[in-house]
Amino acid sequence: MIESQSIPTYIGVVYPDQVDHMGHMNVRHYVGMFDQATWVFFARMGITGRYMRETGVGMAAVAEHIEYKRELFPGDTVSVRTELIKVTNSSCQFKHTMTGEEDGEVMATAELTGVHMDRSAHKSLAFPREVRSAFEAILPNA
């Protein structure tokens, strides 16, 4: 199987205030890092903050599945790369892979589905041609 191109979408460090009573980074911070990666990914596809403000559209998460592979501790540095799995007329499915910067080990993955929508009508909306083309450019056999 040919995989899509992955795109760097996040890099960061675990801070002491992100640690829970178990001594490792709390799951809400994994979600936060993946959320930041999502918005960087969308921006690189043309769905920028300006685009959303000027057009009244947005992206809504309709599904998310996270797998935690290894604990993170204060001082650990991580990066996230994102790959597109599927794109339709108005939605995209993609996967984030978080790895440790020191050893490249996978720390967590998140698979999400987002829908392009008209924020006023609360209905899905087809991606503009430029956005759809950007998504298709990173799919295998595109």
Q: Report if residue 1 sits inside a domain.
A: no
- How much is the pTM? 0.93
Write the pLDDT tens digit of every residue in 79-119: 999 999 999 999 999 999 999 999 999 999 999 999 999 99
Distance of CA 135 to the CA centre of its chain: 13
Number of domains in the chain: 1
Reference 38, options 105, 115, 125, 101; nearest CA is 115
Residue 64 structure tokens: 């998310």
- Residue 2 confidence (pLDDT): 42
Q: How many residues does the chain have?
A: 142
Look at the alpha carbons of 127, 131, 134, 138 in this order and tell me if their dihedral is positive or negative: negative
Q: Report if residue 142 sits inside a domain.
A: no
- Residue 5 confidence (pLDDT): 84
Question: Domain holding 57: CATH number?
Answer: 3.10.129.10
Q: Report if residue 122 sits inside a domain.
A: yes
Q: Report if residue 51 sits inside a domain.
A: yes
Report which DSSP code applies to 35: H
Distance of CA 2 to the CA centre of its chain: 20
- Mean pLDDT of all residues in the chain? 95
Structural domain span for residue 95? 6-137
